[in-house]
């Protein structure tokens, strides 16, 4: 391990110790039963990095901003519903017209979700009940505002326009609470929540017997929480133009003589950013909670960029869209072994990801058992996808070669590398994510048939979103840690 890693920048995360419920590790259905309840009553939001402005770090999934938006929307709705748009309207008649308009709007919203999601599958994912409900409520609000614009005088027209904008914003915020993608205003703007500074030199690591919790004695000055570091991992061999990645170091890695620790490479979905697993997926919070319960021990997590840009999708292969496979399996692996206190692969190495990142986890985890002894696939795809049709995917990522496309599919890779010895695979999916649940069960069965030890679980009450990813990253990392013998 290089004690003074180059091109590395860090921020000691300002997450207060104990700010995250251990429900992230010992997760019960009651905690996750309703995403709508979570949106109304709040969930832990400690994604704030250091040095951020108060506006940028403001939570948009709970707290004052959420309550303020709901309050303004409710007041506007009551005003537009109960106050006549002009003196020519009888109050009872206006309320009747407004209510009927809202019911028609709600029906139109539900019809829109059915047409775009169930019939055309334009987004490639299943909407949850909560998302469908908020779309219906939002369109109902828009209908109420539109009625005021049509029936009212200038002042009422302006109020109706404001209402339409507020109702749309409220619906968007509530859907975001359900899917869990943007925890703060800063994440919505695509800005990393972590400032940068020089990472202090890491101590020389010591290999200790497993279970590590029984053999390692934490020092008295053990940090209360881990750190998040922004790192440049160059594509030295691959030539891949990657964005800066993030590294989570648990408290045990920050002491003078850290133990050698397991490592997880965590990948975002697409579109996405390297920060997504740690921020939107709340993985940093889950790891801190795990470390707090296990004397500062938790896996090191590296979240590199497998995309190059949010809109790109090299599909974790080497091709015209970028040599993402070589970047992850050669450049990133070499950087980790050179700079972090980790064991040699593959025994305590895992690759994990959500959605497209989950597909990558199976592709690379199954293709390279010499690097990754374990994998965590959260809502991954059955096949690599980049475009609306299979032919678009083949043309853009595989130079028109059907054979190359087939060879990059998880089921093909698993079949080609059978049998596996000692590989551990975890598959997770949202309870309401029907399409990806079928995929997860199929790939999990194939992995088991190929010789891997497999585990499958569902995130209760969620669909294809970062609510599922949050649940699955937390539980998945706990399962990986148990598999490695990290904790007793």
Q: What is the mean pLDDT of the chain?
A: 86
Count CB atoms within 10 A of the CB of residue 11. 21
Q: Where are the beta strands (DSSP E) in 138-295?
A: 197-198, 227-231, 245-249, 263-267
Reduced to 3 states (helix: H, G, I; strand: E, B; else coil), residue 212 is helix
Give the CA count within 13 Å in the CB-facing half-sphere of 53.
Answer: 6
Instruction: Please spell the DSSP secondary structure of 344-365, one letter per residue.
Output: PTTTTEEEEEETHHHHHHHHHH
Q: In this predicted structure, what is the pLDDT of residue 198?
A: 52
pLDDT tens per residue, the chain (488 residues)? 444 343 343 444 434 333 333 233 333 333 333 333 333 333 333 333 443 455 667 888 888 999 999 999 999 999 999 998 888 888 889 999 999 999 999 999 999 999 988 887 777 777 888 999 999 999 999 999 999 999 988 999 999 999 999 999 999 999 988 888 888 887 777 776 665 545 556 778 888 888 888 899 999 999 999 999 888 999 999 999 999 999 999 999 999 999 999 999 999 999 899 999 999 999 999 999 999 999 999 999 999 999 999 889 999 999 999 999 999 999 999 999 999 999 999 999 999 999 999 999 999 999 999 999 999 999 999 999 997 789 999 999 999 999 999 999 999 999 999 999 999 999 999 999 988 999 999 999 999 999 999 999 999 989 999 999 999 999 999 999 999 998 77
Taking domain 8-23+193-484, whether its CATH number is 3.90.230.10 is answered by no
Return the domain boundaries, the chain: 8-23+193-484, 64-179
Instruction: State how far the Cα of 483 lies from the Cα of 452, in Å rounded to an integer.
Output: 13
Q: What is the pLDDT of residue 52?
A: 43
pTM for the structure as a whole: 0.81
Strands 263-267 and 227-231: unpaired
């Amino acid at each position: 391990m290089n004690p003074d890693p180059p091109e590395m920048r860090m921020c000691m995360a300002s997450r207060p110790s104990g700010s995250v419920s251990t429900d992230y590790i010992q997760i019960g259905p009651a905690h996750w039963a309703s995403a709508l309840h979570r949106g109304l009553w709040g969930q832990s939001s400690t994604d704030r990095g250091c040095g951020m402005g108060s506006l940028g770090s403001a939570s948009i999934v709970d707290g004052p901003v959420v309550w303020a938006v709901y309050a303004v929307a409710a007041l506007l709705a009551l005003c537009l519903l109960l106050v006549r748009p002009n003196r020519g309207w009888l109050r009872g008649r206006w309320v009747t017209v407004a209510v009927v308009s809202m019911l028609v709007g709600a029906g139109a919203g539900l019809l829109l979700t059915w047409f775009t999601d169930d019939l055309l599958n334009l987004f490639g994912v299943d909407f949850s009940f909560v998302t469908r409900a908020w779309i219906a409520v939002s369109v109902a609000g828009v209908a109420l505002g539109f009625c005021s614009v049509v029936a009212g005088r200038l002042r009422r027209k302006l109020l109706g326009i404001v209402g339409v904008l507020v109702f749309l914003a409220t619906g968007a915020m509530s859907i975001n609470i359900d899917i869990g993608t943007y925890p703060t205003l800063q994440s919505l703007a695509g800005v990393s929540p972590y400032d940068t500074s020089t990472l202090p030199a890491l101590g020389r690591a010591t290999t200790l017997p497993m279970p590590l919790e029984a053999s390692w004695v934490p020092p008295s000055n053990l940090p209360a929480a881990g750190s998040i570091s922004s790192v440049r991992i160059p594509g030295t061999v691959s030539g891949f133009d990657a964005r800066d990645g993030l590294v989570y170091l648990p408290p045990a890695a920050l002491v003078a003589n850290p133990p050698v620790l397991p490592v997880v490479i965590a990948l975002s979905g697409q579109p996405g950013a390297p920060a997504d697993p740690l921020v939107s997926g709340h993985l940093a919070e889950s790891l801190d909670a795990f470390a707090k319960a296990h004397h500062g021990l938790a896996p090191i997590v590296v979240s590199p960029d497998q995309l190059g840009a949010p809109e790109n999708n090299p599909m974790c292969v080497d091709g015209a869209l970028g040599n993402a496979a070589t970047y992850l399996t050669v450049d990133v692996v070499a950087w980790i072994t050179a700079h972090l206190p980790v064991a040699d692969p593959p025994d305590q190495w895992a690759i994990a990801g959500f959605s497209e990142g989950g597909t990558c986890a199976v592709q690379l985890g199954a293709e390279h058992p010499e690097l990754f002894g374990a994998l965590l696939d959260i809502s991954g795809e059955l096949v690599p996808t980049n475009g609306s049709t299979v032919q678009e995917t083949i043309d853009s990522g595989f130079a028109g070669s059907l054979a190359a496309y087939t060879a990059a599919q998880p089921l093909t890779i698993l079949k080609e590398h059978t049998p596996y010895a000692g590989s551990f695979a975890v598959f997770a999916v949202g309870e309401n994510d029907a399409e990806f649940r079928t995929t997860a069960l199929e790939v999990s069965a194939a992995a088991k048939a190929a010789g891997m030890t497999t585990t499958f679980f569902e995130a209760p009450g969620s669909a294809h979103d970062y609510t599922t990813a949050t649940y699955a990253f937390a539980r998945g990392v706990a399962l990986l840690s148990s598999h490695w013998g990290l904790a007793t």
